[in-house]
Homo-oligomer: A and B are copies of this chain.
Amino acid sequence: MKLKCYSLGDVDTRSSAADATGVRPRMNRLYQTSTMAALLDAVYDGETTLDELLMHGNFGLGTFNALDGEMIVNDSVIHQFRADGQAGRVPGDLKTPFACVTFFNPEKEYMIDTARDKEGFEAIVDQLVNNPNLFAAVRFTGMFERVETRTVFCQCRPYPPMLDVVARQPTMQLGASTGTMLGFRTPGYMQGVNVAGYHLHFLTEDGRRGGHLTDYAVLKGRLEVGVISDVEIQLPRTEQFARANLSPENIHEAIRVAEGG
């Protein structure tokens, strides 16, 4: 496959003089709170507020305390898609048990003008990044042939494991749609800490519908990619996290079922 690639210039993420709490945020630096394995083991309550999260990035995805819906952060706006279809105002003191954000600075841009399914789309991004051992931030804005999403329900204590939760969540067929999908590609060796491979959420153009993408085909639109080599992981100092089993034997299969398409 040959790509027409518009390079937007190399970004030296090392030269930034300050981090997210300073004056000059570092671009394309991944910040994540907690780990995917902790979420799988029902650590659904975190300490990080949404206000805090936005100090570390203007772009990303995650979920909310009590697993209350899917989070998508685009251009510094946090959207919450709850299972009941409500997408209301999101207060800044709301907390998250797992989220990944970055200050998105697309280094590469590519116009897609022929239909691509999930595999075809991922192959384009892989070729643009050309390095399986780094992370990437990915955004596609445009038309979709079909979109299939899932949104998790708010859970009550005692929390069930995530695989039990996901087994009960219906997927939604949005059909032909216009909107934005965004998220991250994570290298394989970070499985468990994050979701190895692609983890993307979707948001319709009017901002009214969205969720965790389980399947899709894109038709036409703009793909933007930022390569990430700097990762910050903030682990919770909660009792729940301390007690969690973060190295289960079935971690690959569990993440595939919980987050895969």
Contact = CB atoms under 8 A, between A and B. Distances in A.
A244 interface: yes
Contacts of A164: none
A240 B241 CA distance: 35
Contacts of A197: none
A232 B229 contact: no
Interface residues of A, number: 38
A37 interface: yes
Interface string A10-34: 0000101111011000000000000
A134 interface: yes
Contacts of A236: 229
Contacts of A16: 21
Nearest to A241: B133
A191 B131 CA distance: 21
A189 B246 CA distance: 6
A18 to B, nearest CB: 6
A193 interface: yes
A196 to B, nearest CB: 9
Contacts of A132: 242
A244 to B, nearest CB: 6
B230 A235 contact: yes
Given A21-B18, A193-B190, A131 B229 contact: no
Interface of A: 14, 16-19, 21-22, 35, 37-38, 130-135, 187-193, 227, 229-237, 241-242, 244, 246-247
6 contacts: A19-B21, A22-B22, A38-B133, A133-B244, A190-B193, A191-B247
Given A188-B247, A231-B234, 5 more contacts: A18-B21, A18-B22, A19-B19, A189-B193, A229-B236
